[in-house]
Amino acid sequence: MKILDKYILKKFISTFFFVVLLFILILSVIDFTEKNEDFIKNKVPGLEILIYYTHFMPYMANLLSPITVFIATVFVTANMASHTEIIAILSSGVSFKRLMLPYLIGAAFIGFGTFILIEWVIPNGNKKRIAFENQYVKNKVEFRDNAHLKIGPNTYVYLLSYNNTIHEGYQFSLETIENNQLKSKLKSNRITWQPKKNSWLLDKYVVRKFDGNKETVISGENKDTVINLLPKDFGSTYQLHETFTMSELDNYINELKDRGSENIETYLIEKYERYTYPFAIVILTVIGVIVSARKAREGVGFQIAFGFLLAFVYILFVLMSRGIASAGSIGPLLASWIPNIIFSCIGAVMYKTVPR
């Protein structure tokens, strides 16, 4: 690396970490202000609050990484342009592509670090962060009412109520439906999870089996049964997709597919977006350099403001693509890449306007 590369790379990386630190401090203060009433009401120990924010800050830093790297790029490049450094560099015979090399090195470094964090480190922290929020902020759900679950391609479960504390369900129904015809139906007044046996205990059950016009009825007092259903299936699903490492996420998606569940888009989007994050960082870095490399009459402030505008447009595209994919209008894989594809095209068009 040349002296110029080290100079730009140092400014870029240091500014990125400064912007990240500034953002997470502001967001942490805002978050604490919003949740302080819940902390007081639930008498949350100060140490637990402190531990919570040690997980909250890395989560927010990672979530905002494409935006913060874009803002850092605009800030550094706009300042260099305002001091005529960009013009001097290009006048010395350095091409614009060569000028972007240290930015790309920095973006690749940040993207790789983000990928490692989002794949394994942050999900483990999210387990504790979300558990804290469920307990003290979201009010942990003790009962789940009117639970409808699909646990197999043709198998459906219904519970009038489920107690997450003692792991008991009431007015349980298990139905098998094939070709729109009811083949069997099991009803029980109560089911209880038995952790030592990894099975459910049915209390006062009735099984009805249908074969054309023929019906067979079997009843009993108690019965142990094993079905594709666990107590965790009745727990809170609040930000559940963010608590999985990549291997855990793949296993959970496969589990949902084996069950024949239809609402797996949220988890597929989460999986694909984790791979798009590093590319988003590189794309936004390139656009940031293009946006701010020209010395503007309006000054640095205009370029930084324009950078913020583009950053929030990117967020808007991410949210829109998520919503469209969740509705099933387009595939999760395409939805995850749409913001990057659109901004790559924007960057290619804008590249023609940069100073040579």
Q: Cα(320)–Cα(338) distance, rounded to whole angstroms? A: 10
Inform me whether the pLDDT recorded for 250 exceeds 90. yes
Q: What per-residue confidence (pLDDT) applies to 139?
A: 64
CB atoms within 10 A of CB 266: 16
Q: What per-residue confidence (pLDDT) applies to 275?
A: 93
Q: Cα(169)–Cα(186) distance, rounded to whole angstroms? A: 14
Residues 6 or more apart whose Cβ sits within 8 Å of residue 356:
90, 95, 96
Single out the residue of 314, 321, 298, 152 nearest to residue 233, CA to CA: 152
The average confidence (pLDDT) of the chain is 89
The dihedrals phi and psi of 264, each to the nearest 5 degrees, come to: -115, 5
- The amino acid present at 217, given as its one-letter code, is V
- pTM for this predicted structure: 0.83
Single out the residue of 131, 196, 192 nearest to residue 167, CA to CA: 192
Query: What secondary structure does DSSP assign to 288-335, as a single string?
Result: HHHHHSS--TT-HHHHHHHHHHHHHHHHHHHHHHHHHHHTTSS-HHHH
Single out the residue of 120, 88, 109 nearest to residue 1, CA to CA: 109
Inform me whether the pLDDT recorded for 355 exceeds 60. no
| Tens-digit pLDDT profile for residues 26-45 | 999 999 999 999 999 999 99
Structural contact between residues 287 and 350, judged by C-beta atoms closer than 8 angstroms: yes
